[in-house]
Amino acid sequence: SRFYTLTDHPTGLPKRELFSLESQELPDLDEGEVRIRNHWLSVDPYMRGRMSGVHTYVAPFQLGKPMEGGAIGEVIASNHPNLKVGDKVSHMGGWRDIAQLPGDSVTALPDHNVPDQAYLGVLGMPGMTAWTGLNLIAECKPGDNVLVSAASGAVGSLVVQLAKAKGCHVVGIAGAAHKLAWLESLGVEPVSYRDRSAQELSDAIKLASPNGIDVYFENVGGICLEAALSQLNEGARIAVCGMIDGYNAETPAPGPSNLSQLVARKAKMQGFIVADHWASYGYFLNEVAPQVADGKLDYKETIKEGLESTPDAFLALFEGGNTGKMLVKLSD
Ligand code: NDP
Protein backbone atom coordinates (compact mmCIF):
# COMPACT_ATOMS: atom_id res chain seq x y z
CA SER A 1 0.00 0.00 0.00
CA ARG A 2 1.22 3.52 -0.79
CA PHE A 3 -0.05 6.31 1.43
CA TYR A 4 0.62 9.92 2.37
CA THR A 5 1.80 11.02 5.79
CA LEU A 6 2.32 14.48 7.18
CA THR A 7 5.89 15.16 8.31
CA ASP A 8 5.10 18.29 10.34
CA HIS A 9 2.22 20.58 11.27
CA PRO A 10 2.08 23.45 8.76
CA THR A 11 1.86 27.13 9.50
CA GLY A 12 0.27 29.15 6.73
CA LEU A 13 -0.31 27.46 3.38
CA PRO A 14 1.17 23.94 3.78
CA LYS A 15 4.39 23.40 1.84
CA ARG A 16 4.44 20.54 -0.65
CA GLU A 17 7.38 18.92 1.20
CA LEU A 18 5.24 18.35 4.29
CA PHE A 19 3.43 15.54 2.43
CA SER A 20 5.47 12.35 2.24
CA LEU A 21 4.54 9.37 0.08
CA GLU A 22 5.38 6.14 1.92
CA SER A 23 4.75 2.48 1.34
CA GLN A 24 4.17 -0.56 3.51
CA GLU A 25 3.36 -4.25 3.19
CA LEU A 26 -0.18 -4.78 4.47
CA PRO A 27 -0.66 -7.49 7.11
CA ASP A 28 -3.12 -10.37 6.60
CA LEU A 29 -6.76 -9.38 7.07
CA ASP A 30 -8.03 -9.50 10.63
CA GLU A 31 -11.49 -10.81 11.47
CA GLY A 32 -14.07 -8.36 10.08
CA GLU A 33 -11.57 -6.42 7.93
CA VAL A 34 -11.70 -5.65 4.23
CA ARG A 35 -9.04 -4.61 1.72
CA ILE A 36 -10.10 -1.95 -0.77
CA ARG A 37 -8.51 -0.72 -3.98
CA ASN A 38 -9.28 2.99 -4.09
CA HIS A 39 -10.47 4.47 -7.38
CA TRP A 40 -11.31 8.00 -6.18
CA LEU A 41 -9.92 10.16 -3.38
CA SER A 42 -11.50 13.28 -1.99
CA VAL A 43 -9.55 16.35 -0.90
CA ASP A 44 -11.50 18.86 1.18
CA PRO A 45 -10.84 22.22 2.84
CA TYR A 46 -11.60 20.80 6.33
CA MET A 47 -8.44 18.65 6.05
CA ARG A 48 -6.39 21.81 6.63
CA GLY A 49 -7.81 21.88 10.17
CA ARG A 50 -6.75 18.27 10.74
CA MET A 51 -3.17 19.21 9.77
CA SER A 52 -2.81 21.79 12.50
CA GLY A 53 -2.26 19.29 15.31
CA VAL A 54 -5.08 20.71 17.39
CA HIS A 55 -8.25 18.77 18.14
CA THR A 56 -11.22 20.79 16.93
CA TYR A 57 -14.35 18.87 15.97
CA VAL A 58 -12.28 16.15 14.35
CA ALA A 59 -9.03 14.54 15.53
CA PRO A 60 -5.80 15.92 14.04
CA PHE A 61 -3.71 13.85 11.62
CA GLN A 62 -0.93 11.99 13.47
CA LEU A 63 2.51 12.85 12.09
CA GLY A 64 4.05 9.87 10.28
CA LYS A 65 0.77 7.93 10.19
CA PRO A 66 -1.37 7.41 7.05
CA MET A 67 -3.55 10.44 6.41
CA GLU A 68 -7.28 9.93 6.05
CA GLY A 69 -10.08 11.26 3.91
CA GLY A 70 -13.13 10.31 1.93
CA ALA A 71 -12.51 7.68 -0.74
CA ILE A 72 -14.36 5.31 -3.04
CA GLY A 73 -13.05 1.94 -4.07
CA GLU A 74 -13.68 -1.71 -4.67
CA VAL A 75 -13.32 -4.57 -2.20
CA ILE A 76 -10.43 -6.82 -3.28
CA ALA A 77 -10.36 -9.10 -0.20
CA SER A 78 -12.86 -9.54 2.59
CA ASN A 79 -13.07 -11.08 6.02
CA HIS A 80 -16.45 -9.44 6.65
CA PRO A 81 -19.71 -11.36 6.31
CA ASN A 82 -21.60 -8.56 4.49
CA LEU A 83 -18.89 -7.42 2.05
CA LYS A 84 -17.59 -9.41 -0.89
CA VAL A 85 -14.89 -8.97 -3.49
CA GLY A 86 -16.08 -6.54 -6.18
CA ASP A 87 -18.36 -4.51 -3.89
CA LYS A 88 -18.07 -0.72 -4.40
CA VAL A 89 -17.73 1.13 -1.10
CA SER A 90 -17.15 4.59 0.33
CA HIS A 91 -14.98 4.99 3.40
CA MET A 92 -12.47 7.26 5.15
CA GLY A 93 -9.26 5.44 4.11
CA GLY A 94 -8.21 8.03 1.57
CA TRP A 95 -4.77 9.58 0.76
CA ARG A 96 -3.67 6.02 -0.21
CA ASP A 97 -4.10 3.49 -2.99
CA ILE A 98 -5.02 0.37 -0.99
CA ALA A 99 -6.94 0.69 2.28
CA GLN A 100 -7.40 -2.01 4.89
CA LEU A 101 -10.19 -1.21 7.32
CA PRO A 102 -12.83 -2.75 9.58
CA GLY A 103 -15.72 -3.65 7.29
CA ASP A 104 -18.12 -2.04 9.75
CA SER A 105 -16.56 1.36 8.99
CA VAL A 106 -17.24 1.24 5.23
CA THR A 107 -20.52 1.89 3.41
CA ALA A 108 -21.71 0.10 0.29
CA LEU A 109 -22.47 2.60 -2.49
CA PRO A 110 -26.19 3.23 -2.94
CA ASP A 111 -27.63 2.54 -6.38
CA HIS A 112 -28.91 5.80 -7.88
CA ASN A 113 -27.62 5.48 -11.41
CA VAL A 114 -24.88 8.09 -11.02
CA PRO A 115 -21.09 7.76 -11.44
CA ASP A 116 -19.41 6.31 -8.34
CA GLN A 117 -17.47 9.48 -7.57
CA ALA A 118 -20.71 11.47 -7.18
CA TYR A 119 -20.83 9.96 -3.67
CA LEU A 120 -17.75 12.04 -2.78
CA GLY A 121 -19.31 15.25 -4.11
CA VAL A 122 -22.85 16.21 -5.01
CA LEU A 123 -24.35 13.09 -3.34
CA GLY A 124 -21.73 12.79 -0.60
CA MET A 125 -20.48 14.88 2.28
CA PRO A 126 -20.34 18.22 0.37
CA GLY A 127 -23.84 17.72 -1.07
CA MET A 128 -25.24 16.80 2.31
CA THR A 129 -23.55 19.92 3.72
CA ALA A 130 -25.27 22.13 1.13
CA TRP A 131 -28.69 20.60 1.82
CA THR A 132 -28.27 20.74 5.60
CA GLY A 133 -27.02 24.31 5.73
CA LEU A 134 -29.65 25.68 3.39
CA ASN A 135 -32.67 23.81 4.77
CA LEU A 136 -31.97 22.99 8.40
CA ILE A 137 -29.71 25.87 9.44
CA ALA A 138 -30.70 28.83 7.24
CA GLU A 139 -34.32 27.64 6.99
CA CYS A 140 -34.44 28.88 3.42
CA LYS A 141 -37.94 29.30 2.00
CA PRO A 142 -39.38 30.08 -1.43
CA GLY A 143 -38.90 33.69 -2.43
CA ASP A 144 -35.89 34.31 -0.20
CA ASN A 145 -33.02 36.36 -1.59
CA VAL A 146 -30.05 34.02 -1.17
CA LEU A 147 -26.33 34.82 -1.28
CA VAL A 148 -23.67 32.07 -1.45
CA SER A 149 -19.88 32.47 -1.24
CA ALA A 150 -17.52 29.97 -2.94
CA ALA A 151 -20.64 29.41 -5.02
CA SER A 152 -19.02 27.34 -7.78
CA GLY A 153 -17.38 24.88 -5.37
CA ALA A 154 -18.55 21.44 -4.28
CA VAL A 155 -20.86 22.72 -1.54
CA GLY A 156 -21.76 26.10 -3.04
CA SER A 157 -22.78 24.82 -6.47
CA LEU A 158 -25.43 22.59 -4.93
CA VAL A 159 -26.59 25.32 -2.52
CA VAL A 160 -27.29 27.72 -5.39
CA GLN A 161 -29.25 25.09 -7.35
CA LEU A 162 -31.30 23.90 -4.37
CA ALA A 163 -32.17 27.53 -3.64
CA LYS A 164 -33.11 28.18 -7.30
CA ALA A 165 -35.31 25.08 -7.26
CA LYS A 166 -37.15 26.52 -4.25
CA GLY A 167 -37.93 29.65 -6.22
CA CYS A 168 -35.35 31.89 -4.58
CA HIS A 169 -33.41 34.76 -6.13
CA VAL A 170 -29.80 33.62 -5.90
CA VAL A 171 -26.49 35.49 -6.02
CA GLY A 172 -23.26 33.50 -6.16
CA ILE A 173 -19.78 34.83 -5.34
CA ALA A 174 -16.81 33.19 -7.12
CA GLY A 175 -13.37 33.98 -8.52
CA ALA A 176 -12.61 33.02 -12.11
CA ALA A 177 -14.62 34.09 -15.18
CA HIS A 178 -15.47 30.51 -16.22
CA LYS A 179 -16.92 29.89 -12.74
CA LEU A 180 -19.07 33.01 -13.00
CA ALA A 181 -20.23 31.86 -16.45
CA TRP A 182 -21.27 28.46 -15.07
CA LEU A 183 -23.22 30.15 -12.26
CA GLU A 184 -24.96 32.38 -14.77
CA SER A 185 -25.96 29.33 -16.83
CA LEU A 186 -27.63 27.97 -13.68
CA GLY A 187 -29.78 31.08 -13.37
CA VAL A 188 -27.63 32.55 -10.62
CA GLU A 189 -26.55 36.21 -10.52
CA PRO A 190 -22.73 35.91 -10.57
CA VAL A 191 -20.53 38.28 -8.57
CA SER A 192 -16.73 38.26 -8.59
CA TYR A 193 -14.84 39.00 -5.38
CA ARG A 194 -11.45 39.27 -7.09
CA ASP A 195 -9.57 42.57 -6.69
CA ARG A 196 -12.46 44.08 -4.78
CA SER A 197 -12.67 45.75 -1.40
CA ALA A 198 -15.48 44.79 0.97
CA GLN A 199 -17.27 48.00 -0.04
CA GLU A 200 -16.95 47.24 -3.76
CA LEU A 201 -18.17 43.69 -3.21
CA SER A 202 -21.07 45.01 -1.16
CA ASP A 203 -22.02 47.36 -4.02
CA ALA A 204 -21.84 44.50 -6.52
CA ILE A 205 -24.08 42.32 -4.31
CA LYS A 206 -26.57 45.16 -4.01
CA LEU A 207 -26.73 45.49 -7.80
CA ALA A 208 -27.23 41.73 -8.15
CA SER A 209 -29.80 41.55 -5.35
CA PRO A 210 -31.62 44.89 -5.13
CA ASN A 211 -34.07 43.50 -2.54
CA GLY A 212 -31.33 42.66 -0.02
CA ILE A 213 -30.29 39.30 1.41
CA ASP A 214 -32.51 36.98 3.48
CA VAL A 215 -30.16 33.99 3.55
CA TYR A 216 -26.37 34.03 3.40
CA PHE A 217 -24.62 30.66 3.00
CA GLU A 218 -21.10 31.38 4.25
CA ASN A 219 -18.17 29.38 2.90
CA VAL A 220 -15.44 32.01 2.84
CA GLY A 221 -15.41 34.70 5.57
CA GLY A 222 -13.23 37.77 5.05
CA ILE A 223 -14.63 40.45 2.75
CA CYS A 224 -17.46 38.14 1.65
CA LEU A 225 -18.88 38.12 5.18
CA GLU A 226 -18.43 41.86 5.62
CA ALA A 227 -20.13 42.58 2.29
CA ALA A 228 -22.96 40.14 3.07
CA LEU A 229 -23.60 41.71 6.50
CA SER A 230 -24.03 45.11 4.87
CA GLN A 231 -26.87 43.84 2.65
CA LEU A 232 -28.94 41.86 5.17
CA ASN A 233 -32.70 42.17 5.38
CA GLU A 234 -34.53 42.11 8.68
CA GLY A 235 -34.71 38.56 10.04
CA ALA A 236 -31.92 37.30 7.76
CA ARG A 237 -30.31 33.92 8.51
CA ILE A 238 -26.61 33.22 8.00
CA ALA A 239 -25.54 29.56 7.88
CA VAL A 240 -21.83 29.47 8.69
CA CYS A 241 -20.55 26.43 6.83
CA GLY A 242 -16.90 27.41 6.56
CA MET A 243 -14.48 30.32 6.35
CA ILE A 244 -11.80 29.13 3.96
CA ASP A 245 -10.31 32.62 3.68
CA GLY A 246 -8.77 32.11 7.14
CA TYR A 247 -7.70 28.44 7.05
CA ASN A 248 -4.07 29.26 6.22
CA ALA A 249 -3.88 32.49 8.20
CA GLU A 250 -0.82 32.69 10.44
CA THR A 251 -2.45 35.26 12.67
CA PRO A 252 -6.20 35.40 13.19
CA ALA A 253 -7.92 37.92 10.95
CA PRO A 254 -9.96 40.62 12.70
CA GLY A 255 -13.71 40.10 12.62
CA PRO A 256 -15.90 42.10 10.25
CA SER A 257 -16.14 45.74 11.28
CA ASN A 258 -19.92 45.71 10.73
CA LEU A 259 -20.93 42.68 12.82
CA SER A 260 -23.40 44.89 14.62
CA GLN A 261 -25.58 44.63 11.50
CA LEU A 262 -26.81 41.42 13.14
CA VAL A 263 -28.44 43.56 15.82
CA ALA A 264 -29.89 46.20 13.53
CA ARG A 265 -31.26 43.56 11.15
CA LYS A 266 -32.33 41.16 13.92
CA ALA A 267 -30.43 38.48 12.00
CA LYS A 268 -29.25 35.04 13.10
CA MET A 269 -25.88 33.52 12.41
CA GLN A 270 -25.34 29.81 13.12
CA GLY A 271 -22.46 27.47 12.47
CA PHE A 272 -22.95 23.76 11.87
CA ILE A 273 -21.02 20.54 11.28
CA VAL A 274 -22.54 18.20 8.73
CA ALA A 275 -21.58 15.06 10.66
CA ASP A 276 -24.09 16.00 13.38
CA HIS A 277 -26.89 15.76 10.82
CA TRP A 278 -25.93 12.44 9.25
CA ALA A 279 -29.17 10.83 10.44
CA SER A 280 -30.87 12.88 7.68
CA TYR A 281 -28.56 11.59 4.92
CA GLY A 282 -31.23 9.16 3.69
CA TYR A 283 -33.76 11.99 3.27
CA PHE A 284 -31.17 14.02 1.42
CA LEU A 285 -30.35 11.14 -0.94
CA ASN A 286 -34.01 10.40 -1.65
CA GLU A 287 -34.67 14.03 -2.51
CA VAL A 288 -31.50 14.94 -4.39
CA ALA A 289 -30.19 11.74 -6.02
CA PRO A 290 -33.06 11.37 -8.55
CA GLN A 291 -32.58 15.00 -9.62
CA VAL A 292 -28.86 14.41 -10.14
CA ALA A 293 -29.53 11.19 -12.06
CA ASP A 294 -32.09 13.00 -14.28
CA GLY A 295 -29.71 15.88 -14.95
CA LYS A 296 -32.02 18.40 -13.24
CA LEU A 297 -29.20 19.28 -10.87
CA ASP A 298 -25.88 20.00 -12.55
CA TYR A 299 -22.53 19.23 -10.98
CA LYS A 300 -18.91 19.55 -12.03
CA GLU A 301 -15.73 17.82 -11.02
CA THR A 302 -12.10 18.85 -11.27
CA ILE A 303 -10.07 15.66 -11.57
CA LYS A 304 -6.35 15.20 -10.87
CA GLU A 305 -4.79 11.93 -11.97
CA GLY A 306 -2.73 9.61 -9.79
CA LEU A 307 -1.97 9.26 -6.08
CA GLU A 308 1.06 11.56 -6.45
CA SER A 309 -1.23 14.46 -7.35
CA THR A 310 -3.16 14.32 -4.03
CA PRO A 311 -1.20 17.05 -2.17
CA ASP A 312 -1.36 19.40 -5.17
CA ALA A 313 -5.08 18.74 -5.55
CA PHE A 314 -5.56 19.62 -1.89
CA LEU A 315 -3.44 22.78 -2.08
CA ALA A 316 -5.25 23.96 -5.22
CA LEU A 317 -8.47 24.30 -3.17
CA PHE A 318 -6.99 27.42 -1.60
CA GLU A 319 -6.24 28.98 -4.98
CA GLY A 320 -9.59 28.33 -6.60
CA GLY A 321 -8.07 25.56 -8.74
CA ASN A 322 -11.33 23.61 -8.74
CA THR A 323 -14.76 24.10 -10.27
CA GLY A 324 -17.19 21.87 -8.42
CA LYS A 325 -15.73 18.92 -6.52
CA MET A 326 -11.96 18.42 -6.42
CA LEU A 327 -11.13 14.72 -6.85
CA VAL A 328 -8.12 12.49 -7.39
CA LYS A 329 -8.56 9.57 -9.77
CA LEU A 330 -6.36 6.54 -9.26
CA SER A 331 -5.46 4.22 -12.12
CA ASP A 332 -6.61 0.57 -11.83
P1 NDP B 1 -14.84 24.18 -2.66
O2 NDP B 1 -15.11 23.16 -3.70
O3 NDP B 1 -15.77 25.34 -2.54
O4 NDP B 1 -13.35 24.67 -2.86
C5 NDP B 1 -12.86 25.78 -2.24
C6 NDP B 1 -13.17 27.06 -3.05
O7 NDP B 1 -13.12 28.16 -2.17
C8 NDP B 1 -12.15 27.38 -4.12
O9 NDP B 1 -12.42 26.73 -5.33
C10 NDP B 1 -12.22 28.89 -4.23
O11 NDP B 1 -13.15 29.26 -5.23
C12 NDP B 1 -12.76 29.32 -2.87
N13 NDP B 1 -11.73 30.02 -2.09
C14 NDP B 1 -10.58 29.51 -1.62
N15 NDP B 1 -9.90 30.45 -0.94
C16 NDP B 1 -10.66 31.58 -0.99
C17 NDP B 1 -10.50 32.89 -0.45
N18 NDP B 1 -9.43 33.22 0.28
N19 NDP B 1 -11.48 33.80 -0.69
C20 NDP B 1 -12.58 33.47 -1.42
N21 NDP B 1 -12.77 32.24 -1.95
C22 NDP B 1 -11.82 31.32 -1.72
O23 NDP B 1 -14.76 23.47 -1.24
P24 NDP B 1 -15.96 22.73 -0.50
O25 NDP B 1 -17.20 22.93 -1.28
O26 NDP B 1 -15.54 21.38 -0.17
O27 NDP B 1 -16.08 23.56 0.86
C28 NDP B 1 -16.65 24.86 0.86
C29 NDP B 1 -16.70 25.38 2.30
O30 NDP B 1 -17.54 24.53 3.08
C31 NDP B 1 -15.35 25.40 3.00
O32 NDP B 1 -15.29 26.53 3.82
C33 NDP B 1 -15.41 24.15 3.87
O34 NDP B 1 -14.55 24.22 4.96
C35 NDP B 1 -16.87 24.13 4.25
N36 NDP B 1 -17.39 22.83 4.66
C37 NDP B 1 -18.00 22.75 5.88
C38 NDP B 1 -18.60 21.60 6.30
C39 NDP B 1 -19.30 21.59 7.62
O40 NDP B 1 -19.71 20.53 8.08
N41 NDP B 1 -19.50 22.73 8.25
C42 NDP B 1 -18.54 20.38 5.48
C43 NDP B 1 -17.92 20.56 4.18
C44 NDP B 1 -17.35 21.76 3.80
P45 NDP B 1 -13.00 30.68 -6.01
O46 NDP B 1 -12.32 30.40 -7.29
O47 NDP B 1 -14.40 31.12 -6.18
O48 NDP B 1 -12.16 31.57 -5.16
Instruction: For residues 13 and 8, give the distance between their C-alpha atoms in angstroms, rounded to a whole number.
Output: 13
Cα–Cα distance between 129 and 170 in angstroms, integer? 18
The domain locations on the chain are: 2-121+299-329, 125-275
CA of residue 31 to ligand 1 center, whole Å:
39
Rg value, the chain, Cα: 20
Q: What would the pLDDT profile of 56-74 be if each residue is shown by its tens digit? A: 888 899 999 999 999 999 9
> What does DSSP assign to residue 324?
B
Q: What is the average pLDDT value for the chain, to the nearest integer?
A: 97
User: E-assigned strands of the chain?
Assistant: 2-6, 19-23, 33-42, 71-78, 88-91, 98-102, 107-108, 145-148, 169-174, 189-192, 213-218, 232-240, 268-271, 301-305, 325-329
Q: What is the mean pLDDT of residues 268-281?
A: 98
Q: Per-residue pLDDT tens for 156-165?
A: 999 999 999 9
Determine the pLDDT at residue 57: 81
Q: Specify the higher pLDDT residue, 116 or 331.
A: 116
Ligand 1 atom, smallest distance to 44 CA: 26
Task: State whether the Cα torsion 259-180-151-15 is positive or negative.
Answer: negative
pLDDT at 332: 66
Question: Tell me, what's the ipTM?
Answer: 0.99
What is the arithmetic mean of pLDDT over 287-314? 98
- The Å distance, Cα 149 to ligand 1 centre, comes to 8
CA of 112 from ligand 1 middle (Å) equals: 26
Same CATH topology for 2-121+299-329 and 125-275: the answer is no
CATH number of 2-121+299-329: 3.90.180.10
Helix, strand, coil share (%) of the chain residues, nearest 5: 35, 25, 40
- Domain 125-275 grouped into CATH 3.40.50.1100: no
Q: If you average pLDDT over residues 117-146, what whole number do you get?
A: 98
Is residue 331's pLDDT more than 90?
no
